[in-house]
Structure formats: C-alpha cells, structure tokens
Amino acid sequence: MVGAGIFALLAEAGAIAGAALWISFLIAGFISLALGYAFVKLGARYPSSGGLITYLIEGFGNGRLVGAASWLGYVTAIVVVGAMVAVSFGDYAARLFVGSNTGSNWTNVFASLVVLASALLVIVGVRWVDRAQSTIVIGLLAVFAVFVVATLTHLKPHLLAPSGYPSLHSIVSSVALTFFAYLGFAVISFAGGDIVNPEQNLPRAMYLALGITMFLYLAIAVSVFGTLTVEQVIHYGPTAIAEAARPSLGEAGFVAMGIAALLATSSSVLATFYASVGLTGTLAEVEQFPPMFGSASRLGRHGGLAVTTVLTLLFVNVFDIGALASIGSAISLAVFVLVGVAGLRLRREIGAQAWVIIAAIVASGVALAFFVVDTFHNDPKAFWAMAVLLVLGVLMDVLWKHARSRQISDSAAS
C-alpha cells in the first residue's frame, strides 16, 4: 500500500487540488477506512483467497453483475494499475541507473524486468512474497521518515496558505486520484485464505496499515507542497518527491528518494501480482473467467499469473497508460462501492454497523461523481476511455458466458 500511488500520481492530483492535496489525502483515507470496515467484516465471515470477488458473489449471486465487475476489476485494478506502477518503477530506475536523458526504451526495459521478477516471486511462494514485502516496506518507511523530518524543518508556510487553495469542488474531484494511493488495502482481502486467525488479524492488518499510511501520506503531501510550488510539483511529475528532498538533503536526498520510489513501486507490483492469483483462480473456479485463468489451466497451475504477466507486459510496452491509470483508479473505486453495497446487504450475517457502510458508499459515490463530471469537462478523451472500459467489461462477460453456454450445449448434445 505504501508509496507507489503517492509517487505515481502526486503531480497529477496536485494539478487539481494544488497545495490542498493533503485534504484530498485525508478524505480518501477516511473513505478507505470506511470501505476497509466492510472488507474486514466480509473477510472475517468469508475468508478466502478470492477476496472481494467472494464478497460480491455472496452479496449479489454469481451472475452478470459480478461477471462484468470482475472483468472491470481485473483489467483496471490488476493489469492497468500494475502496468502503470511498473512504468513508474522504470522511470526512476532509468533515471538513477542510466541517466536523466534516457529514452522510453530504458523505462520499458526496467518496467518489464520488475514485472517478470514479481511474477517469479509469486511462483516461488507466499512465504517469499511475505519476506520480500517486509524487507521492502521496512526500508521504505525508514527513507520516508528521514525525508519527512528533514523537509518539515525547511517548510515555507506561505506555500501552504489556505488563500492559495482551489475550490472545494476541485479538492473533492481529486479524491478519486488520491484514493489510488490507498488502493493496496484491497490486497489484504486476498490474504484471507492464507492468514492465520482472520477474524482477529484481518481487522488488525487493515486498520494499522491504513492508519500508518494515512499519517505518512499527509506528512509527505505537506512536506512536498511546503517545499515546492504547485507549478514545480506539476513540472517534476513522478520525481517531485525526490526533487523536494534536494533543498534539505542535497543530491543524496534525491538519490535516497529515488531508491524509495523503486522500493515502493516494486512492492506495489508484487502485491498486485499476489492478489491476481487469488482473484483469477476464484473467478475461474466459479466460471466467471475461462479455465485458462485457473489452477487447472493448460498453461499450468500458474495459468492465471502467466496471462496476467503477458497482459501487463503488453500494456507496459505498447499502450500509453498515463490516462488509463487514473481511470483505472476510478473504476476500482466503483467496484469497491459495489463491495460496500454487498456488505450492506449482508450486514446481519457479518455483524456490521449499517451506518458505517452507508457512509462509505455515499462518500465514495460523491467522490466518484465529482471525478467523472470533472473528467468529462476537462479531459473528454479520458472520459470516453472510461466509457470504453466499462463497455469492454460488459462485453467480455457476455462473450465468455455465450462461449460457455455453447460448450455446455455441445457437451449435452454429444
């Protein structure tokens, strides 16, 4: 959860919310906590490596809605977001290891390497994923702690003055983007089949992770926008955090934050691939996805992971995923709203407080509506790309269900 989103989308969200980005992170954090409550209650009642898909099936049945949401969630939250974070890793790796004037080819090379390495670690096993993640996060938190302490002592208060904040509409419109920085909390739901004592450990993992991450993101947002102007943050883009370290820590600070970016993005890619195994395996098992995504695939027991790896590499090396990444975040938020509705429908079975889940659904819906309207007016191409992805999700579900019906009919006839 920590780091990848704030490196990848800090400048893009800052272009909307400006120096008030810390408020956007605060709102997105509370939305994530409220949604996390629904995930925790559902996960404790239905522990499964299928994670949120299991919750949707329990709440809505194994029908069209779950099918379309599954394809949308897989393409956006796994493939598109995974590719976007891998490209962010490639940008930093190329800058640190090759030079500042490198072409996109080096970015693609490093992005492809982190995708392949993540897939290999997942194949090796959950224990190695756990060890790798723990090592990465410890190093990352240490670097962030030094960065925050150093930059907070060199803040320029006038850069954070409320008089320079944009409208409330702009701040709320940016929440769908800052929500991306918390997106990793959904991965916790896919650990339900592996975690010991999920009723006790799922809530502990969820709330501690979100609480620490929210505090860290608020501190980083204040540090960056209290050191650089909004225009500078937008100009530096993905490397804005590293540039914010220069005034207080010099070139060593820039390099340290560059290394932190590599740790954050590689950790996020690894977590995404870990989640994809449980997701695709469950979807193949309940026949929402073709068998090639499951453990009985002709590609081997890691068939779903192999497909995910190939698709992610395709997005990394062929498509311009900049706009798709923010759209992927918005569609992921929409899928999470559905999980919230499932939790509301199952509130008696899972022992949940209805008002908390309703608050999560309403807040998420408002943030999503503001983002969609803002995108329609300011970035029509991204809006229509979002519409295309929605249609694609429904179309994939229809085509697969039609093919499966024909297979059943042919088997019955023979």
Which tens digits make up the pLDDT trace of 12-25? 888 889 999 999 99
- Residue 166: the pLDDT is 92
pLDDT > 90: percent of the chain: 24
74 pLDDT exceeds 80? yes
171 pLDDT exceeds 80? yes
Q: How far apart are CA 188 and CA 192, in angstroms?
A: 7
Contacts of 233 (CB under 8 A, 6+ apart): 10, 11, 14, 224, 225, 240
Contacts of 120 (CB under 8 A, 6+ apart): none
Pair of tokens at residue 44: 């404790």
**Is pLDDT larger for residue 297 or for residue 351?**
351
- Residue 1: the pLDDT is 73
Q: How far apart are CA 349 and CA 345, in angstroms?
A: 9
Instruction: Report CA-CA distances (Å) from 339 to 55, 148, 171, 182, 210.
Output: 7, 35, 25, 16, 18
- Residue 19: the pLDDT is 93
78 pLDDT exceeds 80? yes
pLDDT, average across residues 221-247: 87
Residue spans of the domains in the chain: they are 4-404
DSSP string for 176-207? HHHGGGGTTHHHHHTTTTTSSSHHHHHHHHHH
Q: What are the residue ranges of helices labelled H in 158-197?
A: 168-173, 175-178, 185-189
- Residue 326: the pLDDT is 67
Element (H, E) at 191: none
135 pLDDT exceeds 90? no
- DSSP 8-state class, residue 244: H
Which of 124-133, 142-151, 338-347 is the least confident region?
124-133
The CATH code of the domain at 4-404 is 1.20.1740.10
Which tens digits make up the pLDDT trace of 101-134? 666 788 889 999 999 999 998 888 767 767 777 7
Which tens digits make up the pLDDT trace of 254-290? 888 888 888 888 888 888 888 888 888 888 888 888 8
Q: How far apart are CA 325 and CA 10, in angstroms?
A: 13
pLDDT, average across residues 145-169: 88
- In this prediction the pTM is 0.82
- Residue 116: the pLDDT is 95
pLDDT, average across residues 352-373: 90
- Residue 236: the pLDDT is 83
